Amino acid sequence: MRNIFVKKLIERAKKNNNIYFLTADLGYNAFEIFKNKFPDRFINVGVAENNMIGIAAGLALLDKEVYVYSIVPFLVFRSLEQIRNNLCNTNLNVKIMGGGGGFSYGEQGISHNTSDDLSIMNTMPNLKVFAPGSKNETELMLDIMFKNIGPSYMRLGKVSTLDYNIQKNSFKIGNGIIVNEGKDLIIISCGNILENVLNVVQNLKKRNINSKLISFPCIKPIKKLFLIKNLDKKNKIIIIEENTKIGGLGSTIKDFLIENNYNNIVKHICLKDIIHDKIGSQKFLRDINNLSVNKMQKEITKLLD
């Protein structure tokens, strides 16, 4: 996803002199092309995320469009107050681009992985929160982010090999995307766990279980009208995210269901509210947290029986 972002940002920066890219000394083998093309608009602030957010705010006060990059935990958790006070409360045009998220950094340990960034960012006023799950989704969400003035957060995980086609023009911010139509159950998801979810949907189809899959590459805002239109009151609903149970996409959907008197049976497949200190590949960590294709499939068929 990071490479898609760099490519699209370069295209945009060619047309617009106001684009600035700031990094807290991360992004080896990714942002060099931007740096070479636009040396004046590439700012490496050093290993100083808090200062980076302040610098971004100052540039945005002079009407620049600023992109800040580091890996997810160093931005979201170290610089949360800077994000809250300097960007969100003041509604400045700064885009927070977080590398990784979830178990993207696998064996690098608990400092590099996050189970909770989407939850925390969901609470920030004015902030749009993006968690694309595929190449097409990433490209579309970047276009949406480019058009949207104001602060945004994007979780840039590893891009999956699986993808689906999107009607780009029909997407509006606040909506999800209907990836697959089906009458037997509803699956809702976001972020790059989508690759596993797509596999699950395909496998279920082979067993004659047809699921309606709704992807939310933008988890904030989500429009109530879209949910009313696309969630019926009978089907079982499965929500899948590589994020904690508290405060992420699942919470938003469950809030909607409760507040609007839906009585659907709901299963939230997500990360438990525990310390995720096991080491291993993203695949391994997903598996031990019940987010592998097999385990999700088992969970869903159990629910349908």
Partner 1 sequence: MIKLNSENNKNLKKLALELRKDIIKISYQKKAHHIGSELSCIDILTTLYFSIMNIEPSIKNNKLRDFFLLSKGHAALALYVVLCKKGFFSKKFLINNFLKNGGRLGGHPDHNRSLGIEYSSGSLGHGLSVGAGIALGKKRNKISGNVYVLLGDGECNEGMIWESMMFASNFKLNNLTAIIDNNNLQGLDYSENIINLKPFDKKLKSFGWDVHIVDGHDFLELKKIFNKKNTKPKAIIANTIKGKGLFSMENTINSHYETIDSKKKYEKFIKELK
Nearest distance in Å: CB 139, partner 1: 29
Token pair in block for residue 218: 């933008």
Name which of residues 220 to 279 contact partner 1 (CB under 8 A): none
Q: Pick the binder of partner 1 from 23, 70, 82, 251 (CB under 8 A).
A: 82
Question: How is the beta sheet containing 237-244 ordered, strand by strand?
Answer: 177-180, 211-215, 185-189, 237-244, 266-271
Token pair in block for residue 295: 């385990």
Residue 86 vs 122, nearer CB to partner 1: 86
Name which of residues 85 to 124 contact partner 1 (CB under 8 A): 85-86, 89-90
Q: Pick the binder of partner 1 from 37, 46, 225, 232 (CB under 8 A).
A: 46
Name which of residues 154 to 183 contact partner 1 (CB under 8 A): none
Residue 92 vs 198, nearer CB to partner 1: 92
- Cα(86)–Cα(88) distance, rounded to whole angstroms? 6
Token pair in block for residue 235: 């089907």
Q: Pick the binder of partner 1 from 19, 55, 121, 296 (CB under 8 A).
A: 55
Binding of residue 83 to partner 1 (CB under 8 A): no
Buried residues in 123-136 as b, exposed as e (16+ CB within 10 A): ebeebbbbbbbbbb
Nearest distance in Å: CB 156, partner 1: 23
Q: Is residue 235 within 8 Å of 264, Cβ to Cβ?
A: yes
Binding of residue 58 to partner 1 (CB under 8 A): yes
Binding of residue 50 to partner 1 (CB under 8 A): yes
Binding of residue 61 to partner 1 (CB under 8 A): yes
Binding of residue 212 to partner 1 (CB under 8 A): no
Residue 59 vs 188, nearer CB to partner 1: 59
Q: Is residue 150 within 8 Å of 128, Cβ to Cβ?
A: yes
Nearest distance in Å: CB 128, partner 1: 20
Question: How is the beta sheet containing 218-220 ordered, strand by strand?
Answer: 42-44, 19-23, 65-71, 94-99, 152-156, 128-130, 218-220
Residue 91 vs 199, nearer CB to partner 1: 91
Residue 49 vs 137, nearer CB to partner 1: 49
Nearest distance in Å: CB 63, partner 1: 8
Residue 58 vs 280, nearer CB to partner 1: 58
Is there a cis peptide before residue 39, judged by omega within 30 degrees of 0?
no
Q: What is the DSSP track for 50-105? A: HHHHHHHHHHHHTT-EEEEEEEHHIIIIITHHHIIIIIITTT--EEEEEE--BTTT
Binding of residue 59 to partner 1 (CB under 8 A): yes
Which residue in 199, 228, 201, 226 sits closest to 212, CA to CA? 201
Residue 44 vs 264, nearer CB to partner 1: 44
Q: Pick the binder of partner 1 from 28, 40, 147, 275 (CB under 8 A).
A: 40
Which residue in 265, 266, 272 sits closest to 290, CA to CA? 272
- Cα(146)–Cα(25) distance, rounded to whole angstroms? 23
Residue 63 vs 255, nearer CB to partner 1: 63
Token pair in block for residue 231: 């969630």
Q: Kindly list the residues in this chain that would bind partner 1 in the complex (CB under 8 A).
A: 40-41, 43, 45-46, 48, 50-51, 53-64, 81-82, 85-86, 89-90
